[in-house]
Amino acid sequence: MPPWIWRGTVIIGLPKETKLHEYRVAMTPIAVSDLVQAGHTLLVEPRAGLAAGWADNLYRDAGARIVSRKEIFRRAEMIVKVKEPQSSEFHLFREGQVLFTFLHLAGYPSLIRVLQRRKVIAIGYETVETADGSLPLLAPMSEIAGRLASLMGANCLRKDLGGKGRLLSGVRGKDRGRVTVIGVGHVGQAAAVTAHGLGAEVRVVDLNEERLETMRQKFSVETFRSSPKVICRLVRETDLLIGAVLVAGRRAPCVVTREMVKGMEPGSVIVDVSIDQGGCVETSRATTIERPTFTRFGVIHSCVANLPSLVPKSASEALSRATFPYVKKVADLGYERAIDEDPALAKGVNLDRGEIVLAALKECIEDGDVVGT
Protein backbone atom coordinates (compact mmCIF):
# COMPACT_ATOMS: atom_id res chain seq x y z
CA MET A 1 0.00 0.00 0.00
CA PRO A 2 1.50 3.42 -0.92
CA PRO A 3 2.46 5.42 2.18
CA TRP A 4 0.29 8.39 1.23
CA ILE A 5 -2.82 6.22 1.77
CA TRP A 6 -2.42 6.28 5.55
CA ARG A 7 -3.91 3.70 7.89
CA GLY A 8 -3.15 5.50 11.15
CA THR A 9 -0.09 3.35 11.89
CA VAL A 10 3.16 3.50 9.98
CA ILE A 11 6.27 1.35 9.62
CA ILE A 12 9.30 3.57 10.22
CA GLY A 13 12.81 2.42 9.37
CA LEU A 14 15.96 3.52 11.19
CA PRO A 15 19.01 2.26 9.26
CA LYS A 16 22.62 2.45 10.38
CA GLU A 17 24.46 5.33 8.74
CA THR A 18 26.85 4.26 5.98
CA LYS A 19 28.68 7.51 5.27
CA LEU A 20 32.37 7.26 6.16
CA HIS A 21 32.92 8.08 9.85
CA GLU A 22 29.27 8.99 10.43
CA TYR A 23 28.63 8.00 14.02
CA ARG A 24 25.27 9.66 14.65
CA VAL A 25 21.88 7.97 14.67
CA ALA A 26 18.66 9.68 13.62
CA MET A 27 16.52 8.69 16.61
CA THR A 28 17.29 7.89 20.22
CA PRO A 29 15.58 5.02 22.07
CA ILE A 30 13.37 7.59 23.84
CA ALA A 31 12.05 8.88 20.50
CA VAL A 32 11.52 5.32 19.30
CA SER A 33 9.57 4.48 22.46
CA ASP A 34 7.28 7.48 21.99
CA LEU A 35 6.53 6.49 18.39
CA VAL A 36 5.86 2.88 19.37
CA GLN A 37 3.48 4.06 22.09
CA ALA A 38 1.70 6.12 19.43
CA GLY A 39 0.99 2.87 17.57
CA HIS A 40 3.75 2.90 14.96
CA THR A 41 6.16 0.08 14.10
CA LEU A 42 9.88 0.83 14.36
CA LEU A 43 12.43 -1.23 12.46
CA VAL A 44 16.01 -0.62 13.55
CA GLU A 45 19.14 -1.98 11.90
CA PRO A 46 21.59 -3.84 14.17
CA ARG A 47 24.22 -1.50 15.73
CA ALA A 48 22.46 1.59 14.30
CA GLY A 49 22.95 3.56 17.51
CA LEU A 50 25.99 1.84 18.97
CA ALA A 51 28.57 4.46 17.96
CA ALA A 52 26.44 7.15 19.60
CA GLY A 53 26.10 5.18 22.82
CA TRP A 54 22.90 3.15 22.40
CA ALA A 55 23.12 -0.63 22.03
CA ASP A 56 20.49 -2.74 20.27
CA ASN A 57 18.94 -3.88 23.55
CA LEU A 58 17.95 -0.28 24.36
CA TYR A 59 16.03 0.00 21.10
CA ARG A 60 14.53 -3.43 21.65
CA ASP A 61 13.43 -2.39 25.16
CA ALA A 62 11.87 0.72 23.57
CA GLY A 63 9.66 -1.52 21.44
CA ALA A 64 11.61 -1.56 18.19
CA ARG A 65 12.28 -4.65 16.08
CA ILE A 66 15.94 -5.21 15.20
CA VAL A 67 16.03 -6.30 11.55
CA SER A 68 18.39 -6.25 8.57
CA ARG A 69 18.97 -3.21 6.38
CA LYS A 70 17.36 -5.02 3.46
CA GLU A 71 14.20 -5.69 5.45
CA ILE A 72 14.05 -2.09 6.67
CA PHE A 73 14.04 -0.69 3.15
CA ARG A 74 11.67 -3.38 1.90
CA ARG A 75 9.04 -2.88 4.61
CA ALA A 76 9.37 0.69 5.90
CA GLU A 77 7.04 3.35 4.58
CA MET A 78 9.23 6.11 6.01
CA ILE A 79 13.03 6.01 6.30
CA VAL A 80 14.53 8.34 8.91
CA LYS A 81 18.29 8.96 8.58
CA VAL A 82 20.97 11.49 9.48
CA LYS A 83 22.94 11.94 6.26
CA GLU A 84 22.13 11.72 2.57
CA PRO A 85 21.90 8.16 1.18
CA GLN A 86 25.16 6.71 -0.08
CA SER A 87 25.59 4.88 -3.40
CA SER A 88 25.34 1.50 -1.66
CA GLU A 89 21.78 2.41 -0.63
CA PHE A 90 20.51 3.81 -3.92
CA HIS A 91 19.01 0.53 -5.13
CA LEU A 92 17.09 -0.01 -1.90
CA PHE A 93 14.57 2.80 -2.27
CA ARG A 94 11.17 2.19 -3.78
CA GLU A 95 8.42 4.31 -5.28
CA GLY A 96 6.41 6.38 -2.80
CA GLN A 97 8.75 5.78 0.13
CA VAL A 98 9.23 8.80 2.39
CA LEU A 99 12.86 9.70 3.09
CA PHE A 100 13.46 12.15 5.95
CA THR A 101 17.11 13.15 6.37
CA PHE A 102 19.73 15.79 5.65
CA LEU A 103 19.84 15.93 1.85
CA HIS A 104 21.87 18.97 0.69
CA LEU A 105 20.97 17.97 -2.85
CA ALA A 106 22.72 20.92 -4.47
CA GLY A 107 25.91 19.10 -3.58
CA TYR A 108 24.82 15.65 -4.78
CA PRO A 109 23.52 15.61 -8.38
CA SER A 110 23.75 11.81 -8.62
CA LEU A 111 21.42 11.49 -5.64
CA ILE A 112 18.90 13.82 -7.27
CA ARG A 113 18.76 11.52 -10.28
CA VAL A 114 18.33 8.43 -8.09
CA LEU A 115 15.50 9.95 -6.07
CA GLN A 116 13.79 11.03 -9.30
CA ARG A 117 14.16 7.61 -10.86
CA ARG A 118 12.96 5.82 -7.72
CA LYS A 119 10.04 8.30 -7.31
CA VAL A 120 10.86 8.92 -3.66
CA ILE A 121 9.24 11.54 -1.40
CA ALA A 122 12.35 13.27 -0.07
CA ILE A 123 12.15 15.70 2.87
CA GLY A 124 15.34 17.52 3.82
CA TYR A 125 15.94 18.54 7.42
CA GLU A 126 17.91 21.53 6.17
CA THR A 127 14.99 23.03 4.20
CA VAL A 128 12.23 22.73 6.84
CA GLU A 129 11.62 26.44 7.42
CA THR A 130 9.27 28.28 9.77
CA ALA A 131 7.39 31.49 8.99
CA ASP A 132 10.13 33.66 10.53
CA GLY A 133 12.74 32.11 8.24
CA SER A 134 14.40 29.93 10.86
CA LEU A 135 15.56 26.38 10.11
CA PRO A 136 14.65 24.41 13.25
CA LEU A 137 16.09 21.04 12.19
CA LEU A 138 19.34 22.47 10.86
CA ALA A 139 19.91 24.79 13.84
CA PRO A 140 21.17 22.28 16.45
CA MET A 141 23.65 20.65 14.05
CA SER A 142 24.76 24.07 12.85
CA GLU A 143 25.48 25.17 16.39
CA ILE A 144 27.58 22.07 17.01
CA ALA A 145 29.40 22.45 13.68
CA GLY A 146 30.17 26.10 14.41
CA ARG A 147 31.60 25.36 17.82
CA LEU A 148 33.71 22.50 16.49
CA ALA A 149 34.93 24.63 13.55
CA SER A 150 36.59 27.10 15.90
CA LEU A 151 38.08 24.35 18.05
CA MET A 152 39.40 22.43 15.03
CA GLY A 153 40.74 25.59 13.45
CA ALA A 154 42.54 26.57 16.65
CA ASN A 155 44.14 23.12 16.79
CA CYS A 156 45.21 23.25 13.13
CA LEU A 157 47.23 26.38 13.86
CA ARG A 158 49.70 24.21 15.76
CA LYS A 159 53.17 24.27 14.19
CA ASP A 160 53.53 20.47 14.29
CA LEU A 161 50.40 20.20 12.13
CA GLY A 162 51.70 22.71 9.58
CA GLY A 163 50.07 25.79 11.09
CA LYS A 164 51.73 29.11 11.77
CA GLY A 165 52.05 28.38 15.49
CA ARG A 166 49.58 31.01 16.67
CA LEU A 167 47.71 30.65 19.98
CA LEU A 168 44.31 32.26 19.45
CA SER A 169 44.14 33.65 22.98
CA GLY A 170 47.62 35.11 22.80
CA VAL A 171 49.52 35.35 26.08
CA ARG A 172 48.11 37.62 28.77
CA GLY A 173 45.95 39.27 26.14
CA LYS A 174 48.86 40.15 23.85
CA ASP A 175 49.28 38.99 20.24
CA ARG A 176 45.86 37.39 20.03
CA GLY A 177 45.00 35.41 16.94
CA ARG A 178 42.55 36.82 14.40
CA VAL A 179 39.47 34.83 13.44
CA THR A 180 37.21 35.86 10.56
CA VAL A 181 33.76 34.30 10.27
CA ILE A 182 31.89 34.74 7.00
CA GLY A 183 28.15 34.24 7.43
CA VAL A 184 26.39 34.77 10.75
CA GLY A 185 23.64 32.17 10.76
CA HIS A 186 23.61 29.44 13.41
CA VAL A 187 27.00 28.07 12.30
CA GLY A 188 28.67 31.45 12.10
CA GLN A 189 27.32 32.73 15.38
CA ALA A 190 28.38 29.58 17.23
CA ALA A 191 31.82 29.73 15.62
CA ALA A 192 32.25 33.40 16.51
CA VAL A 193 31.10 32.93 20.09
CA THR A 194 33.44 29.96 20.57
CA ALA A 195 36.41 31.80 19.05
CA HIS A 196 35.62 34.82 21.24
CA GLY A 197 35.54 32.50 24.25
CA LEU A 198 38.96 31.17 23.29
CA GLY A 199 40.26 34.74 23.53
CA ALA A 200 40.68 35.44 19.82
CA GLU A 201 40.14 38.74 18.06
CA VAL A 202 36.96 37.98 16.12
CA ARG A 203 35.56 39.66 13.00
CA VAL A 204 32.24 38.61 11.47
CA VAL A 205 30.98 39.31 7.96
CA ASP A 206 27.39 39.16 6.69
CA LEU A 207 24.92 40.94 4.42
CA ASN A 208 22.23 41.02 7.11
CA GLU A 209 22.52 44.19 9.20
CA GLU A 210 20.19 42.85 11.88
CA ARG A 211 22.41 39.82 12.45
CA LEU A 212 25.50 42.01 12.56
CA GLU A 213 23.88 44.31 15.11
CA THR A 214 23.02 41.32 17.28
CA MET A 215 26.64 40.18 17.21
CA ARG A 216 27.85 43.67 18.14
CA GLN A 217 25.42 44.03 21.01
CA LYS A 218 25.66 40.54 22.51
CA PHE A 219 29.28 39.58 21.92
CA SER A 220 31.21 42.79 21.27
CA VAL A 221 32.90 41.46 18.13
CA GLU A 222 33.89 43.51 15.08
CA THR A 223 31.30 43.36 12.32
CA PHE A 224 31.52 44.09 8.61
CA ARG A 225 28.95 44.24 5.84
CA SER A 226 29.95 41.72 3.22
CA SER A 227 31.56 42.82 -0.05
CA PRO A 228 34.40 41.37 -2.12
CA LYS A 229 36.68 44.23 -1.10
CA VAL A 230 35.98 43.78 2.61
CA ILE A 231 36.36 39.99 2.46
CA CYS A 232 39.63 40.28 0.53
CA ARG A 233 41.14 42.56 3.19
CA LEU A 234 39.96 40.51 6.16
CA VAL A 235 41.02 37.18 4.66
CA ARG A 236 44.51 38.51 4.04
CA GLU A 237 44.82 39.56 7.71
CA THR A 238 43.29 36.50 9.37
CA ASP A 239 44.86 33.50 11.08
CA LEU A 240 41.70 31.37 11.01
CA LEU A 241 38.95 31.80 8.42
CA ILE A 242 35.60 30.07 8.99
CA GLY A 243 33.24 29.85 6.02
CA ALA A 244 29.63 29.59 7.21
CA VAL A 245 27.60 30.80 4.24
CA LEU A 246 24.20 29.16 3.71
CA VAL A 247 21.47 29.65 1.14
CA ALA A 248 18.80 27.06 1.96
CA GLY A 249 18.41 24.51 -0.82
CA ARG A 250 21.04 26.08 -3.06
CA ARG A 251 24.75 25.77 -3.62
CA ALA A 252 26.74 27.99 -1.28
CA PRO A 253 28.03 31.08 -3.10
CA CYS A 254 31.80 31.22 -3.52
CA VAL A 255 32.78 34.36 -1.60
CA VAL A 256 36.49 33.61 -1.06
CA THR A 257 38.41 33.33 -4.32
CA ARG A 258 41.59 31.43 -5.12
CA GLU A 259 43.48 34.73 -5.30
CA MET A 260 42.29 35.67 -1.81
CA VAL A 261 43.58 32.36 -0.46
CA LYS A 262 46.93 32.94 -2.18
CA GLY A 263 47.16 36.22 -0.27
CA MET A 264 46.90 34.56 3.14
CA GLU A 265 49.98 34.05 5.29
CA PRO A 266 51.41 30.50 5.06
CA GLY A 267 50.23 28.34 7.93
CA SER A 268 46.87 30.09 8.15
CA VAL A 269 43.78 27.90 8.41
CA ILE A 270 40.45 27.73 6.57
CA VAL A 271 37.52 25.73 7.97
CA ASP A 272 34.79 25.66 5.32
CA VAL A 273 31.62 24.50 7.06
CA SER A 274 29.61 25.27 3.89
CA ILE A 275 31.16 22.26 2.15
CA ASP A 276 27.89 20.28 2.33
CA GLN A 277 26.52 22.77 -0.18
CA GLY A 278 29.67 22.92 -2.28
CA GLY A 279 31.74 25.25 -0.10
CA CYS A 280 32.10 29.02 -0.02
CA VAL A 281 35.88 29.01 -0.63
CA GLU A 282 37.07 28.39 -4.18
CA THR A 283 39.94 26.15 -3.08
CA SER A 284 37.80 23.95 -0.83
CA ARG A 285 37.09 20.27 -1.43
CA ALA A 286 35.36 17.82 0.88
CA THR A 287 37.52 16.08 3.47
CA THR A 288 36.73 13.37 6.01
CA ILE A 289 37.09 12.89 9.75
CA GLU A 290 39.87 10.39 8.99
CA ARG A 291 41.75 12.87 6.78
CA PRO A 292 40.32 16.25 7.78
CA THR A 293 42.84 18.60 6.16
CA PHE A 294 44.83 19.39 3.05
CA THR A 295 47.12 22.29 2.20
CA ARG A 296 46.73 24.61 -0.77
CA PHE A 297 48.95 27.63 -1.41
CA GLY A 298 50.47 27.08 2.04
CA VAL A 299 47.06 27.40 3.72
CA ILE A 300 45.57 24.50 5.70
CA HIS A 301 42.00 23.65 4.64
CA SER A 302 39.55 21.63 6.75
CA CYS A 303 36.29 20.84 4.95
CA VAL A 304 34.63 18.00 6.86
CA ALA A 305 31.02 17.63 5.73
CA ASN A 306 29.77 15.94 8.91
CA LEU A 307 31.54 17.76 11.75
CA PRO A 308 28.82 17.00 14.34
CA SER A 309 29.64 13.30 13.94
CA LEU A 310 32.72 13.97 16.10
CA VAL A 311 30.35 14.29 19.08
CA PRO A 312 27.69 11.71 18.12
CA LYS A 313 26.07 11.37 21.54
CA SER A 314 25.31 15.07 21.89
CA ALA A 315 24.53 15.50 18.20
CA SER A 316 22.14 12.53 18.03
CA GLU A 317 20.24 13.67 21.12
CA ALA A 318 19.89 17.20 19.75
CA LEU A 319 18.86 16.02 16.27
CA SER A 320 16.34 13.51 17.61
CA ARG A 321 14.71 16.16 19.83
CA ALA A 322 14.42 18.59 16.94
CA THR A 323 13.11 16.17 14.31
CA PHE A 324 10.77 14.11 16.50
CA PRO A 325 7.68 16.39 16.26
CA TYR A 326 7.93 16.39 12.46
CA VAL A 327 8.55 12.64 12.17
CA LYS A 328 5.57 11.98 14.43
CA LYS A 329 3.37 14.37 12.48
CA VAL A 330 4.09 12.61 9.19
CA ALA A 331 3.55 9.25 10.85
CA ASP A 332 0.31 10.26 12.61
CA LEU A 333 -1.30 12.24 9.80
CA GLY A 334 0.28 10.87 6.65
CA TYR A 335 2.58 12.76 4.32
CA GLU A 336 -0.06 14.71 2.37
CA ARG A 337 -2.12 15.86 5.35
CA ALA A 338 1.03 16.66 7.35
CA ILE A 339 2.40 19.04 4.72
CA ASP A 340 -1.05 20.58 4.22
CA GLU A 341 -1.28 21.38 7.93
CA ASP A 342 2.35 22.40 8.50
CA PRO A 343 3.83 24.99 6.10
CA ALA A 344 7.29 24.59 7.65
CA LEU A 345 7.29 20.88 6.90
CA ALA A 346 5.96 21.52 3.39
CA LYS A 347 9.01 23.69 2.71
CA GLY A 348 11.18 20.73 3.62
CA VAL A 349 9.91 18.65 0.70
CA ASN A 350 12.61 18.52 -1.98
CA LEU A 351 11.07 15.86 -4.23
CA ASP A 352 7.55 14.48 -4.33
CA ARG A 353 7.46 11.01 -5.88
CA GLY A 354 10.42 11.90 -8.03
CA GLU A 355 9.32 15.41 -9.02
CA ILE A 356 11.52 18.27 -7.83
CA VAL A 357 9.26 20.66 -5.90
CA LEU A 358 11.72 22.74 -3.87
CA ALA A 359 11.93 26.09 -5.68
CA ALA A 360 15.51 26.82 -4.65
CA LEU A 361 16.67 23.44 -5.94
CA LYS A 362 14.80 23.90 -9.22
CA GLU A 363 16.48 27.28 -9.71
CA CYS A 364 19.83 25.79 -8.80
CA ILE A 365 19.48 23.11 -11.48
CA GLU A 366 18.19 25.56 -14.10
CA ASP A 367 21.14 27.85 -13.40
CA GLY A 368 23.55 24.93 -13.71
CA ASP A 369 24.65 25.64 -10.15
CA VAL A 370 24.58 22.06 -8.87
CA VAL A 371 27.96 20.72 -7.82
CA GLY A 372 29.24 18.16 -10.28
CA THR A 373 26.99 19.11 -13.21
Active site residues: 104, 276
Q: Give strand pairing partners of 12.
A: 42, 78
Helix (H) or strand (E) holding 323: helix 312-333
Residues 143, 46: Cα–Cα separation, whole Å:
29
Task: Report DSSP state, residue 211.
Answer: H
Q: How many CB atoms lie within 10 A of CB 65?
A: 15
Asked whether the beta carbons of 318 and 87 are under 8 A apart, the reply is no
Asked whether the beta carbons of 326 and 26 are under 8 A apart, the reply is no
Rounded to a whole number of angstroms, the CA Rg of the chain reads: 21
Among 277, 278, 275, which residue's Cα sits nearest to residue 289?
A: 275
Residues 171, 177, 183, 188: what is their CA dihedral angle, to the nearest 10 degrees? -30
Among 65, 68, 69, 74, which residue's Cα sits nearest to residue 93?
A: 74
Residues 240, 36: Cα–Cα separation, whole Å:
47
Dihedral over Cα of 107, 226, 144, 299: its sign? positive
Alpha-carbon distances of 358 from 98, 126, 130, rounded to whole Å: 15, 12, 15
